[in-house]
Structure 1
Amino acid sequence: MTSGPPRVLVDATSVPADRGGVGRYVDGLLGALGKVIGSEVELAVVGLRTDAERYSRMLPAAEVVAAPAAVAHRPARLAWEQTGLPLLAQQVGADVLHSPFYTCPLRAGCPVTVTVHDATFFTEPEHYDKSRRTFFRSAIKTSLRRAHRVIVPSKATRDELIRLLDADPTRVDVAYHGVDPTAFHPPTAEEKARVAARLGLAGTDYVAFLGAKEPRKNVPSLIRGWVKAVHDRPNPPALVVAGGQGHDDDIDRAVADVPGHLRLLRPGYLRYADLPGFLGGALVAAYPSFGEGFGLPILEAMACAVPVLTTPRLSLPEVGGDAVAYTSEDPDQIAIDLASLLDDEPRRMALGKAGFDRAKEFTWESSAEVHIAAWQRARA
């Protein structure tokens, strides 16, 4: 068996410019790995040209390579993954290649580990368009066959891959995501006020949603449930639906039915530095998803000490535990449970504190330890 720390090439070319879920995962993991380079891992990273300089500053002890410019476009990236990435793994002397977003080279020339973030393409197929569903189902099946080890962010995802695709449980490692406490923290009054002013909500209470606007996130039901929960209140809290635009046409239909006296804001992407003020300044962070592979948005909200309302689907109870409130995916039940939270300030305070305490258990350092162990097993 080879001794010494494994030399790992992490392919970060799939990280999107908006630093969404996969970006948070890759950045958090690399940040934690940077603290143990040399002692537990030798690290090489390939990223888009726009990211390479940032990774170089972030990881001075790692070898950072800029991918060809064309790789910024997805079809070119997938083609390069099959041909250019194996060559790069050879050039940097990688013992293991880590692909952090479902796909991997069919012939890498060294052991490969792949992160499969969720199995909802199989469990919730109706929430994806046909082309996306077909692509990711094929990618997951291929990775389960080809990868030496598969890393998943929750036991629920592991169990679904075993149940639905007969994945080998001895080759699947569970590495929970972490949360950066410097980026996500209970906000100061100044941070809350700055975000409220930027959104035009100074002096106005609000319910927050942060995430991609795709059908699986169930935003239309949240909008309809919020309307029912606050419609007759003398000072109804606004609803702020922040994040990427996504492809859920039902959101526009739900928005069209919002009564004129209620305020619903869709600010799109918020600045990363504004997220603690946005989440922590809300009365409630609501996330009534049909199912998640992990549920990073609820963990980030918990770290900001805001009470969270979510669903007990797939991995979400693994993250939230007893520190969040649960509802169903149905608008009527969302209305009941949201209204109950809005009317119970002591419960909101208790949930905010419990969520903040629980969020401390999820660290990128722990996630990095599981990844390193998986890479050691793959190399062996």
Structure 2
Amino acid sequence: MTPRVLVDAAAVPADRGALIRYVDGLVAALHEAGADIAVVCQRADAERYSALAPSARILSGPPAITNRNKRLAWEQTGLPVLARHAGAQVVHAPYYSIPLGSGLPTVVTVHDVTSFTDPDQHDPVRASFFRSATRTAVRHANRVIVPSKATMDELVRVLDADPTRIDVAYHGVDPTLFHAPAPEDVRRVAGRIGLHGRPYVAYLGALEPRKNVPNLVTGFGRAVAHLSSPPALVLAGGPAWDEEVDAAVAGLPPRVKVVRPGFLPFADLPGFLGGALVVASPSRCEGFGLPVLEAMACGAPVLTTHRASLPEVGGDAVAYTEPDADSIARALRALLESPERRESLAQAGVTRSREFTWRHSAEAHLLAYQRAVEG
């Protein structure tokens, strides 16, 4: 019999990007697996988690907390009280930091260690938080879950973590949310973005240095500069602190169009990703690379880098580039000039994406919970 698990969904950060898809996908899959779970969440999210996991006990945590210090204070004081109230036997903290005084076995998810390996690719304040939280979690948690073997290897190398206390649980992709879109979905999303039939290369993610967006912009400009009617580049996702993005966009020729629609609703993502000529994600470092997997599931040809975890996700079903602008330009041009290659990658990506399910991820998490209790 699996232990009763308290999942701390109140830890979702304000940008609610890939992490919310991880927590949502995991909670729904744990419910489907018949796990005994309680979910503590911010009050505004209670209805959503009730729908995702009808059998789970939904505990209303704090109201929306955008201040990290207040959230961490609540994690140390309020969360242990709720865990005891729910009769939990293990606590899962899905975002680096853990409650230290719960008196219960604790499992933590460490999504990446790039704040150690690539500190200049992060905002200094955020990097300091991630380093401190990761050190504490690795020292005190009973089990550490990571989303890739590459992240496990780096955690062992950088922090001398005990590999016998680390569990690899790949993320999944929800085929009801991410799938090859119907033509009308592509037209609707393209019209909403303002493309109105113009072909485009897509990027989805935060505009932060480790995502390598300035080199993507520059490389894209070089790849399409010879075309009389070049496709657009659409940078979808939340703003971040990479000031070089604006400079790269300003350096493009006038006929090269860059569109920045900000966050897109979940319902628009299949049309956006699946309607792109190429989805480009030339990140310098990733703990997993969920947008790459989601683009593959939507039938998009994907261009990414052969760095960190990304080959574990993409395998032979994506195209690879070095992260510099010239390499990106050559790889993009080759894909744009070869519809056959794009179609081959699209089909291979869909097939490979089916190997990554939330059911498999939930099974790996349940094993980690059991090990935490037994340990």
2:201–2:278 CA contact under 8 A, matched in 1: yes
- Secondary structure, aligned partner of 1:34: helix
Percent same amino acid at aligned positions? 60
Which position in structure 2 is the counterpart of 1:78? 72
Change (3 A) 1:71 1:198: closer
The one of 11, 14, 17 equivalent to 1:14 is 11
Q: 3-state DSSP class of the match of 2:40?
A: strand
Instruction: Give the stretch that moved more between structures: 368-377 or 74-83.
Output: 74-83
Kindly indicate whether the alpha-carbon contact (under 8 Å) linking 1:70 and 1:76 is maintained by their aligned counterparts in 2: no
The answer to which of 272-281 and 59-68 deviates more is 59-68
Q: Which residue of 2 aligns with 1:116?
A: 110
1:190/1:70 Cα in 2 relative to 1: closer, same or farther (>3 Å)?
closer
Residue in 2 aligned with 1:215? 209
- Deviation, 1:123, is 1.2
1:178-207, Cα deviation, whole Å (9 max, x unpaired): 000010000110111101111121221100
Q: 3-state SS of the aligned residue for 1:69? A: coil
Amino acid in structure 2 at the alignment position of 1:85: L
| 3-state DSSP of counterpart to 1:13 | helix
C-alpha contact 1:70 1:77 (8 A) present in aligned 2: no
Paired residue for 1:88? 82
Aligned partner of 1:60 in structure 2 is: 54
1:237 aligned partner: 231
Q: Which residue of 2 aligns with 1:36?
A: 33
Structure 1 position 107 matched with structure 2 position 101: yes
Residue 114 of structure 1 aligns to a residue in which SS? strand
- Out of 149, 156, 159, which is 1:162 matched to? 156
Cα deviation, 1:287-333, whole Å, max 9, x if unaligned, reads: 01001000000000000111000000000000000000000110011
The one-letter amino acid of 1:219's match is V
Find the residue that maps to 2:161 and give its secondary structure.
coil
Aligned CA RMSD, in angstroms, stands at: 1.0
Distance (Å, rounded) in 2 between the aligned partners of 1:115 and 1:127: 21
Q: 1:333 and 1:70, CA in 2 relative to 1: closer, same or farther beyond 3 A?
A: closer
1:17 is displaced (CA, Å) by: 5.4
Kindly provide the CA deviation profile for residues 4-24 of structure 1, in whole angstroms up to 9, marking residues without a partner as x: 221000000122455311100
Per-residue CA deviation, residues 145-204 of structure 1 (Å, 9 max, x unaligned), is: 000000000000000000111100000000000000010000110111101111121221
Pairing of 1:162-201 with structure 2 (within 5 A): 162-201=156-195
Aligned residue identity for 2:154 = E
How far apart, in 1, do the equivalents of 2:218 and 2:174 lie?
32
Q: 1:324 is matched with which residue?
A: 318
CA distance, structure 2, for counterparts of residue 355 and residue 275 of structure 1: 16
Tell me the amino acid that sits aligned with residue 13 of structure 1: A
Inter-partner Cα distance in structure 1 for 2:184 and 2:206: 27
Q: Is the 8 A contact 1:90 1:109 kept in 2?
A: no
| Structure 2 contact 123–241 (Cα < 8 Å) conserved | no
Q: Which runs of 5+ in 2 are unaligned?
A: none
Does the CA-based 8 Å contact 1:25-1:177 persist in structure 2?
yes
Q: What secondary structure is seen at the aligned counterpart in 2 of 1:173?
A: strand
Stretch of structure 1 that moved more, 12-21 or 364-373 = 12-21
| Aligned counterpart, 1:367 | 361
| 2:2 pairs with 1:5 | yes
Structure 1 CA distance for aligned equivalents of residues 124 and 198 of structure 2 = 41
Using the alignment, how far apart are the partners of 1:342 and 1:219 within structure 2? 19
List runs of 5+ in structure 1 lacking aligned partners.
Answer: none
Moved more, 16-25 or 74-83: 16-25
Distance 1:57 1:305 in 2: 28
Quick one: which of 244, 251, 264 aligns to 2:245? 251
Deviations 1:261-310 (A, max 9, x none): 11110000111101000000000000010010000000000001110000
Of 230, 245, 260 in structure 1, the residue corresponding to residue 254 of structure 2 is 260
The residue number in structure 1 matching 2:23 is 26
**Cα deviation digits, residues 12-59 of structure 1 (max 9, x gap):** 01224553111000000011011123xxx2110000011012112222
Q: Is contact 1:284-1:308 (8 Å) kept?
A: yes
Equivalenced residue count is 374
Say whether residues 1:147 and 2:144 are aligned partners. Answer: no
Structure 2 residue 47 is matched with structure 1 residue 50: no
